[in-house]
């Protein structure tokens, strides 16, 4: 066999080697692309997993804070309800136990967010509608409208004024009573009725200053007129009414 006969075999071998090298390059390029795509997908999946874990942690914190707020609101509502039941009046005593909360299904969907969003941290419930503000408003109304008027006692500096108030009101009542008796004694029509009203005014004159003193203490001092204050007011009223009665008896 000559060299010319072996030459076609050499060309075929070179072609086969070239084709094998081209196939190896394509294989390496495809493997490199697949590896890069795997790395990119793995990084994207890891980032999404980290974000999902962060969202889950935020949701857990949000749920814990909401549960703590629910417990605080329930305790405060139970305390206010018990305070309202201890108030005076038959209607207050017949309130019964604390009513059950409204079922979740009955609430509007806008009040039940499925998942906390980033806007929850910035857009919160208005201050005027928050549960704590509403409970504080209810507590102030219970203190003002249900609790006895004036929780603290009369200040010491106001005690000497009570006999003067009692005496002043008793003197005014005595003047009205003497005027009724005098006017009823002139022989006009209905004179006996006026005289009876005048003598009744003499009877109530010593204690006429007690309601005036109580209202003044509640309105101006936010205090309660106790037994001692009532006694001082009656003392001043009795002294003034006695002097007015003696003076009226002396003139008649």
Query: Which pLDDT value is given to residue 78?
Result: 81
- Which residues does 170 contact at the CB level (< 8 Å), separation at least 6? 205, 206, 208, 209, 236, 237, 238, 240, 241, 244
The encoded tokens of residue 52 equal: 């999902």
Give dist(CA 208, CA 154) in Å, integer.
Answer: 19
Query: Which pLDDT value is given to residue 196?
Result: 84
Q: In degrees rounded to 5, what are phi and psi of residue 152? A: -95, 160
Give dist(CA 209, CA 230) in Å, integer.
Answer: 9
Regions of the chain where pLDDT drops below 50? 1-4, 90, 110-125, 127, 147, 149-150
> Could you tell me if 237 and 166 are in contact, meaning their C-beta atoms sit under 8 angstroms apart?
yes
Query: Can you give the pTM of this predicted structure?
Result: 0.43
Give dist(CA 235, CA 131) in Å, integer.
Answer: 50
- Which residues does 9 contact at the CB level (< 8 Å), separation at least 6? none
Q: Which of 145, 128, 149, 138 is nearest to 78 (CA)?
A: 138
The encoded tokens of residue 4 equal: 């010319």
Query: Which pLDDT value is given to residue 121?
Result: 44
């Amino acid at each position: 066999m000559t060299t010319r006969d072996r030459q076609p075999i050499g060309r075929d071998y070179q072609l086969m080697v070239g084709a094998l090298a081209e196939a190896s390059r394509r294989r390496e390029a495809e493997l490199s692309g697949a590896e890069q795509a795997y790395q990119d997908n793995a990084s994207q999946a890891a980032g999404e997993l980290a974000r999902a874990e962060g969202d889950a942690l935020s949701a857990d914190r949000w749920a814990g804070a909401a549960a703590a707020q629910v417990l605080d609101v329930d305790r405060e509502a139970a305390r206010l309800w018990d305070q309202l039941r201890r108030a005076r009046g038959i209607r207050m005593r017949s309130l019964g136990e604390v009513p059950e909360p409204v079922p979740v299904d009955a609430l509007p969907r806008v009040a039940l967010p499925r998942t906390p969003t980033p806007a929850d941290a910035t857009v919160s419930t208005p201050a005027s509608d928050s549960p704590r503000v509403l409970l504080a408003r209810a507590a102030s109304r219970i203190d003002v409208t249900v609790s006895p008027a004036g929780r603290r006692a009369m200040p010491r500096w106001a005690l000497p004024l009570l006999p003067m108030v009692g005496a002043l009101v008793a003197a005014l009542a005595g003047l009205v009573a003497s005027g009724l008796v005098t006017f009823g004694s002139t022989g006009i029509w209905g004179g006996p009725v006026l005289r009876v009203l005048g003598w009744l005014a003499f009877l109530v004159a010593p204690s006429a200053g007690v309601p005036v003193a109580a209202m003044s203490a509640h309105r101006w001092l936010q205090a309660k007129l106790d037994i001692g204050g009532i006694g001082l007011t009656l003392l001043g009223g009795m002294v003034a009414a006695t002097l007015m009665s003696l003076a009226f008896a002396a003139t008649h």
